[in-house]
Amino acid sequence: MFEIANYVLQGAGQVTPALVDKVLRSLPMWKVEFAQINAPQFPHLVNQLEFLADAVEDVAEGAYKDLPYHAFAAAVFALTYAHRKTDIIPDFVSGSMGRADDSSIVRAVLILHEKPFAKYAEAQGFNWDKITDKP
């Protein structure tokens, strides 16, 4: 997990306002793309991506102002990473194993920034336990 956490922190550090603008313009299409992910080995991935997409939109639109920027940037990085078709494990790898890295990145973002995302989930009426892997 240490290497993935460092990778997430480095990726989040590369998030710029220009990248945020690009992600915001692409997010409606990405949400449709994420909803179509078929990865039974990673049952929480779609919900987690939708949660992060909602958080990014709410913060960018000013609807939620309490998410620290480092958590926001990490969410932007995770969404961008999950959208890429060729990453550490390309998405076309057999079965849903191509989504293992996407799931790891998203989970790392949620773990690294658990408190602010849990606070966001509560404020927005999301079930945090359903978003994470808790029963």
How confident is the model at residue 135, as a pLDDT? 43
CA distances for 35 relative to 1, 17, 32, 61, angstroms: 26, 26, 5, 22
Assess contact for 124 and 58: CB atoms under 8 A: yes
Dist. CA 99–CA 71, nearest whole Å:
22
* pTM score: 0.90
The residue extents of the domains of the chain are 2-131
Residues of the chain with pLDDT under 50: 90, 135
